[in-house]
Chain A
Amino acid sequence: MPETRRYSPLRLVVVLLVIAGFIIADHVGSPTFRRNMGEGGFETTLTQRESQAAACAPCGAPCPSERKDD
């Protein structure tokens, strides 16, 4: 153990558990989770990725599909 540990290990674990809780809560409400559970008929990130020949870079700029409307 480092001789000058100043953080609380318990607090660190709690923070990580809270983050994990947020991630799991977000995931179980997602289309990807529903598809994994056997539902279908809707688009997910992975199917959107497969359907678009060129991936749209996640820089926040409009994707080509939106730019057509300009």
Chain B
Amino acid sequence: MAATAETVAAGEARRPDRFVVATAIVAGLLLAALIALETAPFLVGLFFVGGALGVGLYHGAFGFTGGWRRFVVHGRGAALRAQLALLALAAVLMVPVLATSGAGLTGAVAPVGLSLVVGAFLFGFGMQLGGGCGSGTLFTIGAGNVRMVLTLVFFIAGSVLGTIHLPWWLEQPGVDPVNLAAGLGPGGAIALTLALCAGLAWWVTRIERRRHGDVERRLLAGPRGGLAGTLFKGPWPLAWAVVVLAVGNLAVLLLAGHPWGITLAFAIWGAKALQAVGVDMAQFEFWTWDYPAMALADSVLVNVTSVTNFGLLAGAMLAAGLAGRFNRASLGRIPPRSLLAAAIGGLVMGYGARLAFGCNIGAMFSGIASASLHGWIWFAAAWVGSLIAIRLRPRFALAND
């Protein structure tokens, strides 16, 4: 998530925007009622979990994109440490559940190969230009950020293109999914995950201390105001967001049967749009596979990822309304070069997300929380892509704040 996302929740508190709050609640309840009427109770639950995730992302200003950039550019590591704490907590919560669930639940475990490395690299590159990652794009749109709508449109286009090319990429060198819990046991996988998170947090802290002489303590900071006011109007302490996102991912796992994902829905939405204008998507191998073929043919209201995304959008809109900041990130003129960056970033992110089996949420967060090796490789490859794109941001009139 980018500066656009983070600036949304920064600054002084404002009065709630009652119109946005009411609109978000009414729209959310109507959609929840439609889902309840037409589908299954677990999907209603997922919609509300998505809403909670949207509130957590917005009020916590939980930035993957911005957090990475802040560390690279300014040497400040609070956001990065919060992400590592999130990965560690989610692994502690989810690995035992996956290990004891039998065949009922499936982790985010995906192949490791050239497709993953190239896709994650592209995603990391694209998220710095696009101004947000998978979750960042969605929650900033929910908060009324107009520029991010352009990012999403191109994200969708890139996702569809990625699905068309994915079978070719899967023929390139690679190995089957590596589940660390299968090799090391659940306890060993959790211990390894905690050790890696702790090691990275130590490295981040060491660099921050060397550069600034001190270390930000935002992760452990308490609320700035009263408890109720902070809960509803934000901004939240980072630790609150960490807990909500980790527990939210566990809730998605328990309700849906698999962890939280975001970006496959974008490919489905794009493929549905193409199909609506007469394109036969069945000519592309990806759309003949069981899950994508059914997701394309059936309603978005029974698609787990779409329903969670709808909830996330509504939750972010509600949170932005409560904070009195809806549409705040869209004030002022948006430079054309920034719009070009949004388009390029969105397209590259979409393509990369399909090659890498998801975004920072579906592949990195859920992958690592499922003890899948591909989550860590995604992290490393996306980091390299981000490093390059951060240097390019000023050329697109994007501040490296």
Contacts and interface: CB of A to CB of B under 8 A. Distances in A.
A39 interface: no
Contacts of B353: 60
B244 interface: no
A32 B39 contact: yes
B257 interface: yes
A57 B107 contact: yes
Contacts of A46: 39-40, 302
Interface residues of A, number: 38
B201 interface: no
Given A45-B295, A48-B294, A59 B300 contact: no
A60 B267 contact: yes
B327 A7 contact: yes
A57 B55 CA distance: 25
Contacts of B257: 49, 55
B62 interface: no
Interface string A21-33: 0011011001111
Given A26-B299, A31-B298, A44-B302, A60 B27 contact: no
Nearest to B324: A2
B17 interface: yes
Nearest to B299: A30
Contact of A9 (B19, B109, B111, B357): B19
A59 B357 contact: yes
Contacts of A23: 31, 34, 300-301
Contacts of B258: 55-58
Contacts of B291: 56, 58, 63
A7 B267 CA distance: 29
Contacts of A7: 144, 326-327, 330
Contacts of A53: 103-104
A32 B326 contact: no
B170 A58 contact: no
Contacts of B19: 1, 5, 9
Interface of B: 14-15, 17-20, 23, 27, 30-31, 34, 38-40, 103-111, 144, 163, 166, 170, 177, 256-259, 261, 264, 267, 272, 286, 289-292, 294-295, 297-305, 324, 326-327, 330-331, 353-354, 357-358, 362-363
27 contacts: A1-B18, A2-B14, A2-B15, A5-B327, A6-B330, A7-B327, A12-B23, A23-B31, A27-B34, A30-B302, A31-B298, A32-B39, A32-B301, A53-B103, A55-B105, A57-B106, A57-B109, A57-B259, A58-B295, A58-B362, A59-B261, A59-B264, A60-B264, A60-B267, A60-B353, A61-B111, A63-B289
